[in-house]
Chains A and B, each alone.
Chain A
Amino acid sequence: MKKFIYLFSAILVLGACTDNFEEINTSPYQLTDESLQQDFNNVGSFYPSMFSQIFGNQVNHNLTNVTYAQHLATPTPFVGGINNTTYYIRWNGYWDRQYNSVMAPANQVIGIAESTDQPMFVEWANLIKILSMSRLTAYHGPVIYSQYGPEGDGSYDSEEVLYNAFFADLDRIIALYNANTDYVGLTAFDASYGGDIALWAKYANSLRLQLAMRISKVAPALAKTQGEKALADPAGLIETNAENFNISLYGNKFHPAQICFEWNDTRMSATMESILIGYEDNRIEPFFDPVEDMALVADHPDWPYKGIRNGAQLTAKDDHLPYSTIDIDFNDPAKVTTRKVMSADEVFFLKAEAALRGWAGAGDAQANYEAGVRASFELWGAGGVDAYLADNTKLPIDYNDVVYDGLEDGSVNDFTSDITITVAWDEAADNEIKLEKIITQKWIAAYTNEMEAWVDHRRTGYPKLPPVYQNSSSSDWGLIPNGEILRRMPFTNGQRENNASGVADATAKLGGPDEIGTRLWWDTGGPNF
């Protein structure tokens, strides 16, 4: 009997074979680091995923900064009309997207690139990190940047520390890229510039100029130093549309087109209607589509476009669906394959403002202003730029929300435009007027990438945008007095719950309560000059 037991036990002990366990526990449909070494994909293949997360989705962008910049507006009364667009915060998800899908993978890629001695890839990822965080800080103010990484303590940077860190990192990136303009290693992975290092250096300089301008009021000396550095750098700036920095859509549809045409959740803004029609701006045609129902545009039938007021009072979604959509070409992934991040027009407008601020190397304000407008017209294929630039009479029009004319209060959502400047440059005008012209044109040209337009509006007060009609702000997220604007997004609830001490520290660094009315560092509220 016992021999059976011995035999049996022997079988059992020999039976445990664990050699293939590692293979079994690896998904056959994931790509291993080893496999990715082929064609150097272990570094390069991660860049498309990071770039494609720079722009957020509907709630991250379209219902947040796009609506605050007033390029597009929603016809949909989400959550009973009380939501981000009317200053009651429902969605605040851009933070998680940037850390989970850009920052963490970027740091991993940097680690691999460093270990395989590929500094050009290291700095490419560092540039993406600056791009990501420079956008995120425009929402919240303090973010976790210099202390994010293997050596960091995870604390928030004050904005002053943050911008200095951006500039220091840009110094290193630009120096390396300028020294290696013949490097071709990025080519296979770079859907933006095809691996052209000289163009990346131009973008990095342009980004420095953009960030320098952000802080021009709060830290004028630093801004000037950094701005002049950008203007003087031998690599130059993005000054032709061919040099524009665009992110590939990687075959996907331009997301706002999905929001507009599939979800019917976004339309042209009333502000766009007021400004583009008032100035008779031909860019309206590539931007938006005309309405079908001419009754909606009885006051300007020659310009049959109709927009929705941002922060409108909305009864039913259907009410405003007949208003102007974005241009139908955006809905075709074959026609619109990229999204603009930094374009020549923006650089010219930055230089125009730099000229007003007396930064060396900026050139002439008027020349830059007009070059910016021309670059934008060229980019969008719009005609009539000469007449446009020469026009010294046309002004933005007042807005009437025609579908609500029948309401008891027929003036619901209507506004009178506060903009009194014309397009034509006036060299005799004071800097304030000149700045208003520059920023107003910069605002129009920013179409499809509204982040900086929102920053400029908070920083300079331009363009003179109408306030929200429905102000649903409350003490929950901070009260915004009627006529005033939301100035930031609160820290996320995820941070408040998981990192309460960090948020307390960040709030101290913010210099005001963690509310939507608190001004960011560069949003001084003081005079522009």
Chain B
Amino acid sequence: MTKKLLVILALVLGSYPILAQDKTVSGTITDASDGSPLPGVNVLVQGTTNGSQTDFDGNYTIEASEGDVLVFSFLGMKSQSVTVGSSNTVNVSMEEDASQLDEVVVTALGIRREEKTLTYAQQTVRSDELTKTRDPNFMNSISGKAAGVEIKKSSSGAGGSTRIVLRGNKSLSGDSSPLFVIDGIPMANNRGGQPGMWGGADGGDGLSAINPDDIESISILRGANAAVLYGSQGANGVVVITTKQGSAGKTTVSLNTGYSFEHYQELPDLQFKYGAIGAAKESWSTDAGDYADEYVENFFQTGHNFNNSVSISGGNDKTTAYFSYANITSSGITPENKYNKNNVSFRGSTKFFNDKVTVSSGVIMSIEETKNRLPSGYYLNPLTGLYMFPRNRNFYDFKDNYEIFNSDRNLMAQNWFVDDHHQSNPYWIIYNQPRTNNTKRVIANASIKWDILDNLNLQVRGNYDYKTEENEQQHAATSNGTNVHANGAWDFSDVDDQLGYFDAILNYNTNISDDISFNAVLGASYQQTKYGFGVSVGTGVLGLLYPNEFLFQNLPTNVPVNSTASEEIIKQGVFANTQFGYKDMLYLDISGRNDWASTLALTGNQSYFYPAVGLTGILSEMFDMGEKVSFAKLRASYTQVANEVPYNRIFPQHSISANGGVNRNTQAPFLDGKPEIITSLEFGADFRFFQNRLGIDFTYYSLTSTDQYINVSLDPSDPVAQGIYTSQYINAGEITNKGVELTLSATPVRNDNFQWVTAFNFARNVNEIVDIGPDDERFYNLGSSEGYASRLYEGGRFNDLYVYKFLRDDQGRIIFENGTPRKTELLELVGNLDPDWSLGWNNNITMGKFNLGMLINAKIGGNVFSQTESMLDGAGVSQRTADARDAGGVTVNGVDQDSGAAVTTVDSETWFRAIGDRNGIGEAYVYDRTNISLSQLSLGYNFNVEKLNLPISAATLSFVGNNLFFIYKDAPFDPELAMSTSRNSQGLDNFNLPSTATYGFNLKVTF
């Protein structure tokens, strides 16, 4: 019964269009261990895409011909193959299998394949793993559950974006984000603006349009191998999201309700012992006091997340439907931070013309409202004022009176102790500079599948993805004058994103001989994207005519209202994929694709072709490997993917400037631009032992990215500049990424009442910049901030970290001059932001009706950099500075450059002002990224619904804790939290919102 309840979760698996066959085969699938019926079992006619699923009572029907082989597969069970004979009934009793080997998985373009035939690495995460964690952004819950997937969560809270990189950074200019695909169709994942050192807030990304409860599974195709059929946009890997479909049979209603609360994990270590001297904004007094310390903690509040969703699915053998509604209502850990999301989705499928034509359609709608998502960086950030407030002053004077009446202006004005570009009254920012972000999105798709012959079908699909996004921040008059005019400022944008996608795919299966099967897919696709079209206004310090009125009529004449366009791209592609199978033991894949990309117009290179080939051998089918080896497979593949250049880079034109003149474009035309090429070679092995209780999945890959599209800023001395250009684009360079991914899964204990399943996901990626282009001395800034830069040098690595270091003598002593430590003239290499390797350890223990899950994530190696700590030191508010004052100074190993005398102690203020503040000696603020964290702990209980005598078929209650605590870390902040989820400013902490621990429960009831 337990199993039955567990598998009910999978009841809403999709039903797949059915090819006309000779007869209808039906039967019941049961669990071999106890004879109970198994719902949700996949049934597939081998070598075709014709499939079905068992209903709640374990019954299925499928159209098949005599001699066809039916493949039965199900999560946690050994797949079975049965040849259809004369009987119309095929009953199967399935045996447990900890591995998920023979599963039918969704691959490129929604094509289903048996996993064992794949020639590349693919790892699937099931829906229960996603919904269990209840992270408002579901991609965050993938972390640690699949190898080779680097996930960095935005520090901005609910609705924020996520940075995902598969197998390391491959592109010098792009952000190496994978392609997201929903049910075979590429999805717009246009990330919003990202914060930087000067401020700004996370604009979210496109993934939040999806209701996690609608997701059946997420498959991660890490390599370009898997992605060749998507074209260049899949060059960085593909995340394939398969949504739930209606299934024929009994109507199923599923209710999900969850609540969680969150609290910050850790604040910077602040001192409350020493105040300021006079009116100074820094707390550098050496007279100890006893100052209030609770106002910092009190600024933060407990966040609440409410998740509610309902789904209904059902249908008959002609028509199926799935409907869901979900709501997330959250309040963050800072005042007035709210997030509300409503999702509605509908999916239906009907068969016509003797079931030869299947028409399916789906609509996803989402409305998101976000208020006061916190920014990062120096400017207009409540945390700067909160943390740096001088200790001897009374914070409550400013908290309670964040605005006071200004009789000179007859308006309410900001009340803060200092006029400083970095600081504002935190509560003023919260209440009087509110930030809102409203997004509405519709993704609609329709597909027609025509079964022309038994083994030939044509599928035509269309998808339209539309998003409109309104961003606004209204800065009240008397907000910080560095960024805001005396009458206030208005940042407003209203932009649309559109993605239209159309494809046609012909799918053909045959058996060339008794031993050789053949499958061919031939297709064409057309995609047009238009991102960021709309209007934007940012008045900044230019002002408003009348205070505190935020509307277009109130703009002075020198404020431009901008028409915006971030990209418009048409991509057309034709592709072919063939697979030859030999005796179910050897599979050969050959694919090729030709793309036409509008971004390469004028270059003559807008049409480009790239191939892929892969081979899989199932050793356990070829040889008798003994009882201990349950399954063994080796695979190899070679792939090329070409990546077009971004929009409007080939021949950019000129823009109207705020002063009414025209800014001359000084980027050199890029008329010989060509696509970047990523060539990858991948070897993999998949071995299962002891009835699949132990499994090893190993991948080695070697990626070479060449013809990298690079933006080179041209120094005035550079002859290429010709005195007329300041930047140019070139195709150059070579980056290699070599790595291993290892998944070790085991079921150490398994008996009737107790099962422990454990899995390690290990990944290591080694990146090298082999060639940087024609000028070997040249370097590229990936992102820089004061005293920090992430740079690419030939022979270096992606995300190499450069900071100012201490100037030291031969003995390693810090050189002092007039009592102050000296720093290096230029930024120097100090480390790398990427970890050496990553490990996720996922455990699931089932005991009776209880299920316990635990996930431990580890990142070993790498560095992060904190401008927060540097600023707090400079302001004398870090505990470090109080400790130093307590000790009467900082103990150093230094030497005076003039006298040669040893310097052993430095005055605290002198020391921290020199190394801290802005642009100090960054070496002191570089931390080891290494950390081990308890990322997830969950406890679930399956109710014995039969005893309840209610119309409930399943009920599960679970308690979940996310991001609970660090078992080990070096950095004084969460090094896995990203200020920005774009390529820039990685590993940088600049007054980021602290990361949060979340605790909650989730109740799921199925009727």
| Chain A residues with a Cβ under 8 A of chain B | 1, 4-5, 8-9, 11-13, 15-18, 20-22, 24-33, 36, 41, 45-50, 52, 76, 79-80, 82, 90, 99-101, 103-105, 107-109, 111, 144, 148-150, 152-156, 250-253, 258, 261-265, 315-319, 321, 333, 474-476, 493-500, 502
Contacts and interface: CB of A to CB of B under 8 A. Distances in A.
B74 to A, nearest CB: 34
B558 A251 contact: yes
A291 B508 CA distance: 87
Given A103-B716, A144-B716, 14 more contacts: A1-B456, A16-B594, A18-B572, A22-B601, A25-B601, A27-B653, A46-B662, A49-B661, A80-B917, A107-B724, A319-B279, A476-B825, A497-B779, A502-B717
B659 A13 contact: no
Which of A105, A264, A316 neighbours the largest number of chain B CB atoms within 10 Å of its CB? A316
B825 A316 contact: no
Nearest to A490: B825
Contact of B278 (A33, A144, A319, A495): A319
B648 A31 contact: no
Nearest to B804: A476
A101 B919 CA distance: 26
A24 B569 CA distance: 7
Contacts of A105: 663-664, 666
B826 A109 contact: no
Given A9-B522, A264-B419, A318-B279, A21 B661 contact: no
Given A144-B716, A475-B817, A103 B280 contact: no
B276 to A, nearest CB: 8
Interface in B655-714: 655-666
16 contacts: A4-B456, A12-B574, A24-B570, A80-B282, A82-B913, A99-B716, A101-B663, A104-B664, A104-B725, A104-B726, A105-B666, A107-B723, A108-B724, A149-B723, A265-B421, A315-B277
Given A11-B504, A30-B653, A262-B482, A49 B419 contact: no
Contacts of B715: 154, 494-495, 498-499, 502
A263 B481 contact: yes
Contacts of A474: 817-818, 820, 822
Interface string B820-858: 101101100000000000000000000000000000000
B570 A155 contact: no
Nearest to B663: A49
The 6 closest A-B pairs by CB, nearest first: A48-B661, A250-B659, A149-B723, A154-B717, A21-B601, A105-B664
B557 interface: yes
A21 B716 contact: no
A76 B279 CA distance: 12
Nearest to B875: A80
B512 to A, nearest CB: 14
B666 A263 contact: no
B796 to A, nearest CB: 14
B453 A46 contact: no
Contacts of B664: 46, 49, 104-105, 108-109
Interface in B562-617: 562-565, 568-570, 572, 574, 594, 596-602, 606-607
B316 interface: no
B632 interface: no
Interface of B: 276-282, 417-421, 452-453, 456, 458, 481-482, 485-486, 504, 506, 508, 522-524, 526, 541-542, 557-558, 562-565, 568-570, 572, 574, 594, 596-602, 606-607, 647-648, 650-666, 715-719, 721-726, 777-779, 817-818, 820, 822-823, 825-826, 874, 897, 913-914, 917-919
B723 to A, nearest CB: 3
Nearest to B666: A104
Contacts of B574: 12-13, 15-16
Contact of B661 (A17, A32, A46, A144): A46
B723 A148 contact: yes
A507 to B, nearest CB: 13
A108 B723 CA distance: 8
Nearest to B654: A31
A297 to B, nearest CB: 20
Nearest to B817: A474
Contacts of A18: 572, 596, 598, 601, 606-607
B508 to A, nearest CB: 7
B379 to A, nearest CB: 12
Contacts of A82: 913-914
Contacts of A333: 558
A78 to B, nearest CB: 8
A32 B956 CA distance: 63
Nearest to A264: B419
A427 to B, nearest CB: 47
Contacts of B823: 476
A315 to B, nearest CB: 5
A79 B570 contact: no
Nearest to A95: B716
B565 A29 contact: yes
A316 B278 contact: yes
A243 to B, nearest CB: 24
Contacts of B279: 315-316, 318-319
B723 A150 contact: yes
A144 B526 CA distance: 49
Contacts of B918: 79, 90
A20 B572 CA distance: 12
A18 B644 CA distance: 15
Contacts of B606: 18, 21
B654 A12 contact: no
Contact of B564 (A29, A32, A109, A152): A29
Contacts of B721: 104, 154
A45 B418 contact: no
Contacts of A28: 563, 565
A333 B508 CA distance: 72
A317 B282 contact: no
B653 A33 contact: yes
Nearest to A35: B653
B724 A104 contact: yes
A336 B276 CA distance: 40
Contact of B826 (A11, A108, A493): A493
Contact of B481 (A1, A11, A104, A264): A264
Given A25-B648, A493-B826, A498 B662 contact: no
Given A4-B452, A251-B557, A317-B418, A48 B601 contact: no
Contacts of B600: 21, 25
Contacts of B651: 25-26
B729 to A, nearest CB: 13
Which of B572, B654, B658, B722 neighbours the largest number of chain A CB atoms within 10 Å of its CB? B654
A264 B506 CA distance: 69
Contacts of B594: 16
B779 to A, nearest CB: 7
Contacts of A496: 825-826
Contact of B719 (A32, A153, A494): A153
B482 A100 contact: no
Contacts of A497: 779, 826
Given A46-B661, A49-B663, A154 B653 contact: no
Contact of A36 (B420, B526, B565, B654): B654
Contacts of B725: 104
A315 B818 CA distance: 20
Contact of A150 (B417, B724, B897): B724
A21 B570 contact: yes
A206 B718 CA distance: 33
A108 B666 contact: yes
B897 A475 contact: yes
A494 B650 CA distance: 26
A333 B596 CA distance: 51
B359 to A, nearest CB: 20
Contact of A252 (B277, B453, B659): B659
Given A148-B716, A474-B817, A476-B823, A111 B724 contact: yes
